[in-house]
A and B are shown apart, each in its own frame.
Chain A
């Protein structure tokens, strides 16, 4: 099949959606399909391992330059400006399927018109709904989502229930590795301490204040636990202030964002992952990546996270979102038992390799497209 991905950001920035586009394109190319990625003018080209994936870029107006009438408006204008330039090439591409990654691109079927034989698939990784998207959604033939939870979100908004393909992880890159004593020391974690790691944006709904409160709970007070937060965000000053108030500042390590490719090195130097989200995570890709590196996770029972971590406690521990005592109990159980960490970490790695690779995601995407044939 001739399959195209349209995402203006794929060639201009790094992130979960962009990773999904490139990894799926690679996995689909390996299955013998013809792949094209349409992106905005930019330099980002991941290592495609020599795969014959055509990359076409076109000019666009970055959202920062758009009149600030809200984030959604800016993103729609960004994508529309891209589409004006890319349209002739996309139409000429004569693709069997065109995969869109954001509702902001739902105008494409109408833009290409009925003369274009290409059909459209929407690969959902969140919500990003906007006024009028339901009307535009009529042009989408196949719907896929990154988790059952996200599928329900889509169902409630568009009244269409997507097939669940799950996100994937590059399990060869995100693999268990040896701890780097120098890195660990530079972070300030002593050899006997148990280092819990989080990577992501430091924003309120990630629930990191709950993790800070957990550090101050009796369950963790006597244990040699440290919390490594890799990332930046609006919540940083509040977290520092709270840690100071609770007297746990010395047990927190703030690390500026590191390149995505560098994360496995940090995970290898940590003992467990902690992901205490209090908002709806559609999937939890950073959790899956940490698990793929062999880290047992303590995470919230919210959104799509249980689908990643599993609900039998064999790969990680789940606790109620916002419940510092429950989070502390989960962290304490892991902190006190190196054997448990090793066992859950190994099972976590197996779970990701067995269920959440990009090859699995590509197969499921093809099955969803085949249902529409």
Chain B
């Protein structure tokens, strides 16, 4: 796992700029950092350069320097810069070797390089796993930047008339732009308020875009034109999901560094633990975030599961105070991103990385098997699908009166109204905070379904295109990579996912949720996990807001108004914060959103 970046254009970047990009990538790849540079004619060069590939490496497979990146082919005319891990490629590598490709390492990086040489972008179906890949083909004068199918690895990019650049993170890419050129994107900020994350293709900056999952970019080095291609969307395969699950888990245990498991008290990670044990992997250590004394603490449940399966277990106590780490965590989340659970996950990763360098997680189970309560909640209003009443819209207010809220909700489509089941800000609150902003879209999601699918499938499709890649997986990637820890998600293996898509809805969507999984997870049944109320990964938010972050309320509105170039109204921000402090506990997550935005914009202003 690693950080990647690159730039191609007329403007040479000074060594200090290249160093800055590498430095900002280095938490993702602490083991080695390299840049390969070319001059305007694409001859190798040193010092300032207009073209370069940059890589910061976390070594998991074949840690020898020979496997460092950027990696070139023997002729030096095809280069790869890659962040991720692909699995099950060994047979294809053998066929490539038989066809004359000489392998110098055991790394999946070199496999992808040879696979591209042999098959071009047709090699994409052969890649199973998570990846953000840049492939520079000097023979064809093309650069391909590819993001994995499910969106486990991030890519942001910048394209102007005379240049193209990309990176794993917004912060690394900002180092490429000339100082002061990066302007905040009003849609990006509004999207953050609406969703608590900024969905692709938006970012916090106008000049930077995020590549959606399942897409690649093709940049023509000669004409400087850019093409975005969607190379994959899921489709049911009809395959046996049980076999696919075991294969997915088995493949993800392959590493030259120690492998662990994030184990909560929930079903998804317990399924993985259970299959690991059944497949004979009993040395894999389980790690759980612990909140002693809190009703959200799941460490005892997890300990019972680990004991039942014979897996070693380490509870990781999340510190009581986040005050000192708050700026660092916000920095590691790259751009404004406000999931409260990223804090405990960051701490869990910090401790886990001391013992293992790869960790398996249960991400994706809730989206696959409809585990979130919000689905049932929103489906209650499915009777009005296709109906959209004329309404005066959302009144600017912290919490509009119930009737006004109901009418405003009926004025948006049923699909868009799904956004109200999340903890982001409703359109009325966004209006209050952004009084100068013209009417904004209800949601900033992409791929809103157009087919006449059932209600639940529609909601799941929205989540798979937005919430999963840009919220759940981004959080997982950023919080683990901040500590040089590689998170693998067996439930998001695409053959497994496509096998699950073929399941009859009666099997896939059950009450309680995920009953289909009990046949592959005896402990889920024995420990009665299906009957247990879903607790989520919830930290003690009220305590953080009341004490650790309390000093940040002073001048919050003025700071946000200034940092957002007037898009946010300072008095409105202070009004929301004051309402929370006066006892409106329901605003806690919104207030955390504002505090994170404040810190994030402050940091980004220093970098831009």
Q: Say whether B235 contacts A311, CB under 8 Å.
A: yes
Q: Say whether B125 contacts A314, CB under 8 Å.
A: yes
The segment from B268-276, B473-481, B499-507, B576-584 that touches chain A is B499-507
Q: Say whether A153 contacts B452, CB under 8 Å.
A: yes
Contacts of B234 in A (CB 8 A): 311
The segment from B21-29, B102-110, B225-233, B421-429 that touches chain A is B225-233
A: contact size bracket: 20 to 34
Q: Say whether B227 contacts A329, CB under 8 Å.
A: yes
Given the known interface contacts A312-B124, A314-B125, the answer about A155 and B235 at a Cβ–Cβ threshold of 8 Å is no
Shortest beta-carbon distance, B103 to chain A, in Å?
25
For B504, give the chain A residue with the smallest CB separation. Answer: A161
B: contact size bracket: 20 to 34
A151-188 interface mask toward B, CB cutoff 8 Å, 1 = contact, 0 = none? 11101100001001000000000000000000000000
A311 to B237 Cα, complex, angstroms: 10
For A127, give the chain B residue with the smallest CB separation. Answer: B452
For A321, give the chain B residue with the smallest CB separation. Answer: B450
**Would you call B162 an interface residue if the criterion is a C-beta within 8 Å of the partner chain's C-beta atoms?**
no
**Would you call B178 an interface residue if the criterion is a C-beta within 8 Å of the partner chain's C-beta atoms?**
no
**Would you call B454 an interface residue if the criterion is a C-beta within 8 Å of the partner chain's C-beta atoms?**
yes
Given the known interface contacts A161-B504, A161-B506, the answer about A148 and B232 at a Cβ–Cβ threshold of 8 Å is no
- B233, B236, B447, B505 — most chain A CB neighbours (10 Å): B236
Q: In the complex, which of the residues B122, B230, B505 contacts A318, with contact meaning CB atoms closer than 8 Å?
A: B230
**Would you call B457 an interface residue if the criterion is a C-beta within 8 Å of the partner chain's C-beta atoms?**
yes
A149 to B502 Cα, complex, angstroms: 10
List which B225-254 residues lie within 8 A (CB) of chain A. Answer: 227, 229-236, 238
Shortest beta-carbon distance, B495 to chain A, in Å?
12
Q: In the complex, which of the residues A302, A306, A313, A329 contacts B124, with contact meaning CB atoms closer than 8 Å?
A: A313
For B507, give the chain A residue with the smallest CB separation. Answer: A161
Shortest beta-carbon distance, B129 to chain A, in Å?
15
Contacts of A148 in B (CB 8 A): 235-236, 238, 501-502
A319 to B215 Cα, complex, angstroms: 12
B484-504 interface mask toward A, CB cutoff 8 Å, 1 = contact, 0 = none? 000000000000000001101
**Would you call B453 an interface residue if the criterion is a C-beta within 8 Å of the partner chain's C-beta atoms?**
yes
**Would you call A96 an interface residue if the criterion is a C-beta within 8 Å of the partner chain's C-beta atoms?**
no
Q: Say whether B454 contacts A155, CB under 8 Å.
A: yes
Shortest beta-carbon distance, B552 to chain A, in Å?
42
Shortest beta-carbon distance, A53 to chain B, in Å?
29
Contacts of A306 in B (CB 8 A): 233, 235
Contacts of A343 in B (CB 8 A): 122
Q: Say whether A312 contacts B502, CB under 8 Å.
A: no
Contacts of B238 in A (CB 8 A): 148, 164
For A148, give the chain B residue with the smallest CB separation. Answer: B236
**Would you call A303 an interface residue if the criterion is a C-beta within 8 Å of the partner chain's C-beta atoms?**
yes
List which B431-462 residues lie within 8 A (CB) of chain A. Answer: 447, 450-454, 457
**Would you call A307 an interface residue if the criterion is a C-beta within 8 Å of the partner chain's C-beta atoms?**
yes
**Would you call A133 an interface residue if the criterion is a C-beta within 8 Å of the partner chain's C-beta atoms?**
no
**Would you call A358 an interface residue if the criterion is a C-beta within 8 Å of the partner chain's C-beta atoms?**
no
A155 to B457 Cα, complex, angstroms: 12
Q: Say whether A302 contacts B450, CB under 8 Å.
A: yes
- A151, A152, A307, A318 — most chain B CB neighbours (10 Å): A152
A329 to B229 Cα, complex, angstroms: 9
A151 to B453 Cα, complex, angstroms: 11
Given the known interface contacts A155-B505, A280-B451, A329-B227, the answer about A311 and B232 at a Cβ–Cβ threshold of 8 Å is yes
Q: Say whether A164 contacts B502, CB under 8 Å.
A: yes
Shortest beta-carbon distance, A230 to chain B, in Å?
26
A152 to B122 Cα, complex, angstroms: 31
Given the known interface contacts A301-B233, A318-B233, the answer about A312 and B125 at a Cβ–Cβ threshold of 8 Å is yes
Shortest beta-carbon distance, A252 to chain B, in Å?
26
A322 to B230 Cα, complex, angstroms: 15
Given the known interface contacts A152-B454, A164-B238, A329-B227, the answer about A313 and B232 at a Cβ–Cβ threshold of 8 Å is yes
Q: In the complex, which of the residues A152, A307, A329 contacts B235, with contact meaning CB atoms closer than 8 Å?
A: A307
Q: Say whether A322 contacts B450, CB under 8 Å.
A: yes
Contacts of B236 in A (CB 8 A): 148, 164, 307
Shortest beta-carbon distance, A355 to chain B, in Å?
10
For A326, give the chain B residue with the smallest CB separation. Answer: B230
Contacts of B454 in A (CB 8 A): 152, 155-156
Shortest beta-carbon distance, B213 to chain A, in Å?
13
For B508, give the chain A residue with the smallest CB separation. Answer: A161
For A278, give the chain B residue with the smallest CB separation. Answer: B450
Contacts of A155 in B (CB 8 A): 454, 504-505
Contacts of A313 in B (CB 8 A): 124-125, 229, 231-232
Given the known interface contacts A152-B453, A164-B238, A321-B450, the answer about A312 and B231 at a Cβ–Cβ threshold of 8 Å is yes
A333-373 interface mask toward B, CB cutoff 8 Å, 1 = contact, 0 = none? 00000000001000000000000000000000000000000
A302 to B451 Cα, complex, angstroms: 7
For A300, give the chain B residue with the smallest CB separation. Answer: B450
A152 to B505 Cα, complex, angstroms: 8
For B228, give the chain A residue with the smallest CB separation. Answer: A329
A103 to B413 Cα, complex, angstroms: 31
A96-107 interface mask toward B, CB cutoff 8 Å, 1 = contact, 0 = none? 000000000000
Contacts of A319 in B (CB 8 A): 230
Contacts of A311 in B (CB 8 A): 232-235
A151 to B235 Cα, complex, angstroms: 13
Shortest beta-carbon distance, A330 to chain B, in Å?
9
A347 to B305 Cα, complex, angstroms: 47
Give the top 9 A-B pairs by smallest Cβ distance, nearest first: A161-B504, A148-B236, A312-B125, A156-B454, A311-B235, A306-B235, A313-B231, A155-B505, A280-B452
Show the binding face of B for A, using Cβ within 8 Å.
122, 124-125, 227, 229-236, 238, 447, 450-454, 457, 501-502, 504-506
Q: List 21 A-B contacts (CB under 8 A).
A: A148-B238, A148-B501, A149-B451, A152-B453, A152-B457, A155-B504, A155-B505, A161-B506, A164-B238, A278-B450, A280-B451, A302-B450, A306-B235, A311-B233, A313-B124, A313-B229, A319-B230, A320-B230, A322-B450, A326-B230, A343-B122
Show the binding face of A for B, using Cβ within 8 Å.
148-149, 151-153, 155-156, 161, 164, 278, 280, 301-303, 306-307, 310-314, 318-322, 326, 329, 343
Beyond A310-B235, A314-B125, 20 additional pairs, beta carbon < 8 A:
A148-B501, A148-B502, A152-B454, A155-B505, A161-B504, A164-B238, A164-B502, A278-B450, A280-B451, A302-B451, A303-B451, A306-B235, A311-B235, A312-B232, A313-B232, A318-B233, A320-B230, A320-B447, A321-B450, A329-B229
